């Protein structure tokens, strides 16, 4: 089942004297349950592409269609609500709220969705257990290692029951052991729950785990390989 499709997608940054074609006519489709890595050198356009798939950036031209909805035709409030209900994000910098516990950080997205307190708490604990942090639910980010913080971020992304998860360089700040642990958890969730993961990455360890590798350069898809 196709959940993401782009048609002739372009993104041009023209704030400088010479316009930058960050994404240059990309046609792409992603199926439910894929474990996909988008790779390419710095400046290739992979993060810009990921941001447009997540509705964080607006195409200059072309379409992003998610589950049959052209998100380019939604206004800003509609896009925000759509993201909240349909897309999970995992960022390089974790983006946890320092004053909240791990459980409260995971709950936060569900609070925005206006879910009731009991449902939020149960789901948060369930997700933290799924990423191996059932014993750290009341720990604040400062008491967690980088790898543990990123696992909280994954739990938070999963908590809202999104259609897919976008992970932008999720292993960039992690050591080898933490990276391996995080990727094993994501791979397990992908296989058991059929959760779709799309990575933007430089990390060969992520690429080695992916079942589809899309290489981008100069804003264009250079290769698209299923392994």
With respect to residue 175, please indicate whether it lies within any of the assigned structural domains: yes
* Overall average pLDDT of the 37-56 stretch: 93
With respect to residue 1, please indicate whether it lies within any of the assigned structural domains: no
At residue 154, the pLDDT reads 92
Mean of the per-residue pLDDT values of the chain: 92
Which of 8-17, 19-28, 104-113 comes out lowest in average pLDDT?
8-17
Phi and psi at 8, nearest 5°, equal: 45, 50
Query: Domain containing 131 — which CATH number?
Result: 3.40.50.300
With respect to residue 218, please indicate whether it lies within any of the assigned structural domains: yes
| Terminal-to-terminal C-alpha distance of the chain | 19
At residue 25, the pLDDT reads 95
Q: Which residue has the tokens 């992003």?
A: 64
Q: What is the DSSP string of 108-124?
A: HHHHHTT--HHHHHHHH
With respect to residue 16, please indicate whether it lies within any of the assigned structural domains: no
At residue 38, the pLDDT reads 97
Domain that holds residue 88: 35-45+73-226
* Overall average pLDDT of the 183-205 stretch: 91
With respect to residue 199, please indicate whether it lies within any of the assigned structural domains: yes
Task: Place 92 in a pLDDT band, splitting at 50, 70 and 90.
Answer: confident
Phi and psi at 49, nearest 5°, equal: -60, -45
Asked if the model's pLDDT at residue 165 lies above 90, the reply is yes
At residue 14, the pLDDT reads 84
Contacts of 117 (CB under 8 A, 6+ apart): none
* Overall average pLDDT of the 178-192 stretch: 90
Per residue in 202-220, pLDDT (tens digit) is 899 999 999 999 999 999 9
- pTM, two decimals, is 0.91
With respect to residue 2, please indicate whether it lies within any of the assigned structural domains: no
At residue 91, the pLDDT reads 87
* Overall average pLDDT of the 134-143 stretch: 95
With respect to residue 21, please indicate whether it lies within any of the assigned structural domains: no
């Amino acid at each position: 089942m196709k959940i993401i499709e782009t048609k002739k997608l372009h993104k041009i940054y023209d704030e400088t004297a010479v316009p930058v074609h960050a994404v240059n006519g990309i046609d792409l489709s992603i199926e439910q349950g894929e474990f996909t890595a988008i790779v390419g050198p710095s400046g290739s356009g992979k993060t810009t592409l990921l941001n447009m798939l997540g509705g964080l950036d607006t195409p200059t031209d072309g379409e992003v269609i998610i589950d049959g909805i052209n998100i380019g035709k939604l206004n800003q409030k509609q896009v925000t609500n759509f993201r909240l209900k349909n897309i999970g994000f995992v960022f390089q910098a974790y983006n946890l709220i320092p004053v909240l516990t791990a459980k409260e950080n995971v709950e936060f997205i569900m609070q925005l969705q206006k879910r009731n307190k009991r449902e939020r708490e149960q789901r948060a604990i369930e997700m933290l257990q799924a990423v191996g942090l059932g014993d750290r639910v009341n720990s604040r980010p400062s008491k967690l290692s980088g790898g543990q913080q990123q696992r909280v971020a994954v739990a938070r992304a999963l908590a809202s029951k999104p259609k897919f998860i976008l992970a932008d360089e999720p292993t960039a700040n992690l050591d080898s052991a933490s990276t391996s642990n995080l990727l094993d958890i994501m791979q397990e969730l992908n296989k058991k729950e059929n959760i779709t993961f799309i990575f933007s990455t430089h990390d060969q360890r992520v690429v080695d785990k992916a079942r589809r590798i899309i290489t981008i350069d100069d804003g264009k898809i250079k290769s698209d390989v299923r392994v």
